[in-house]
Amino acid sequence: MSRRIDVSAASMEGKALAREAASEAGKLLITGFEKHICMFYLKGGRLLEMTSLGISSGRDSGERDGGYHVGDLFLARVTNVSNELKAAFVLYGTEGASLTGFLPFSQIPADVHPKQGDLICVRLKAEPQRGKRASFSAKIDWSRIPDGESVRATASHDNKIRRLLISDGPDLKPVIKAVADTKHFEVEEIVTDLEDLFEKCSAEISGIPVRRYTDEVLSLSALYSLGTKGQEALARKVWLPSGGYLIFDYTEALTVIDVNSGKKEKSGAGFVSDLNREAAREVALQIRLRNLSGMILVDFINNEEENASESLLSYMQDLLKADTGLARALDITALGIMEITRRKTRKSLCEQFTEA
């Protein structure tokens, strides 16, 4: 005899979760991630929305040790030249968070002979690892530097080269507009470690406190684990607390989300219902976080219990109410495939990073 599911109880639980999500205020964090300036909306420690606000020049990105990437360009200062090691040591990074890197002689142009105290333009070749410093190369394509300026910068060249390296920073106007256009957020404060953005937000945004994060020891990204949260938001697999997981696949026409039970055995009354409800909660959060739109098909685990499909559909409909009316759960088939549609407001999170 099949077990009957109480549809009204499931619906009440979904409504309660939606009300809880809507009532609590969150934080709006703006910092660097994957060479982008990104806006992160966190509530109760959970990342609910993430948006790229534009590609960063690498300047004042809020990333410190471990946050730089291969290919980044630095105006570094030579601190030591070692003939024994056949390398120079250079100081790089932002003011107050400078780091020492390794510049082999083999990665310096033959006509350049750096001395202690010189400024030299270098590109990150290998990120720092445990016990090893970052490795740099001064062999760079200088087509972007007018009049064939030397790699080695003297005092008279310092300001000119610095301006050339940072002059292509992002236009902050669209960033300010995106921050201001967050009426669907309940925001208790805006926090950023980007000085220019902090000044503009403070001047142009009213009604929400704006705070600049200045801790030199622990970056804003590290404090809230934004690097890990951002990578998880872009990952194909999302783990569930029970040991199950979701798989996201994207096509031009639709998004398919597959619910898997993992290695956990399907046993006990209500196991499938509980797992599907757990998956539904995560699906509702991921749809909003990844900014999915159009047709979304969710392949839940087949449940033969009486009223299972009706209960799960009602549960999802209530969960999606926290998504400010953008998403709707339309139907669920006998095989457990749910159809969800969501209005498109901007590119999906995946598109924002793959098309950059």
**What percentage of the chain reaches a pLDDT higher than 90?**
37
**Strand ranges (E), 157-253:** 187-192, 210-212, 237-239, 245-250
Q: Mean pLDDT throughout 310-320? A: 93
pLDDT of residue 154: 31
C-beta contacts of 244-249 below 8 A and 24+ residues apart = 244/275, 244/278, 244/279, 246/279, 246/282, 246/283, 246/286, 248/286, 248/290
Q: What's the pLDDT tens digit per position in 7-58?
A: 555 555 555 555 555 556 789 999 988 878 899 999 988 999 998 887 664 4
pLDDT of residue 98: 60
Q: Name residue 339's beta-bridge partners.
A: 297, 331
pLDDT of residue 230: 93
DSSP H or E segment with residue 102: strand 99-104
- Is 70 exceeded by the pLDDT of residue 217? yes
* pLDDT classification of 331: cutoffs 50, 70, 90: very high
Q: Name residue 27's beta-bridge partners.
A: 42, 189
pLDDT of residue 17: 52
CATH H superfamily, domain 73-166: Nucleic acid-binding proteins (2.40.50.140)
- Is 80 exceeded by the pLDDT of residue 266? no
> Does 73-166 match 26-58+170-227 at the fold level?
no
Q: Mean pLDDT throughout 188-217? A: 86
Q: Mapping DSSP to helix (H, G, I), strand (E, B) and coil, where does residue 301 land? A: coil
Q: What does the domain layout of the chain look like in residue ranges? A: 7-23+229-354, 26-58+170-227, 73-166
pLDDT of residue 341: 95
Q: What's the pLDDT tens digit per position in 132-187?
A: 788 899 988 655 544 433 333 333 334 333 333 433 444 566 666 666 666 556 88
pLDDT of residue 323: 83
Q: Mean pLDDT throughout 263-277? A: 77
* pLDDT classification of 258: cutoffs 50, 70, 90: very high
Q: Please state the φ and ψ torsions of residue 184, each to the nearest 5 degrees.
A: -85, 0
Q: Which of 266, 257, 315 is nearest to 289 (CA)?
A: 257
**CATH architecture for segment(s) 26-58+170-227:** 2-Layer Sandwich (3.30)
Q: Which residues are CB-contacts of 335 (< 8 A; sequence separation ≥ 6)?
A: 302
Q: Which residues are CB-contacts of 345 (< 8 A; sequence separation ≥ 6)?
A: 291, 293, 326
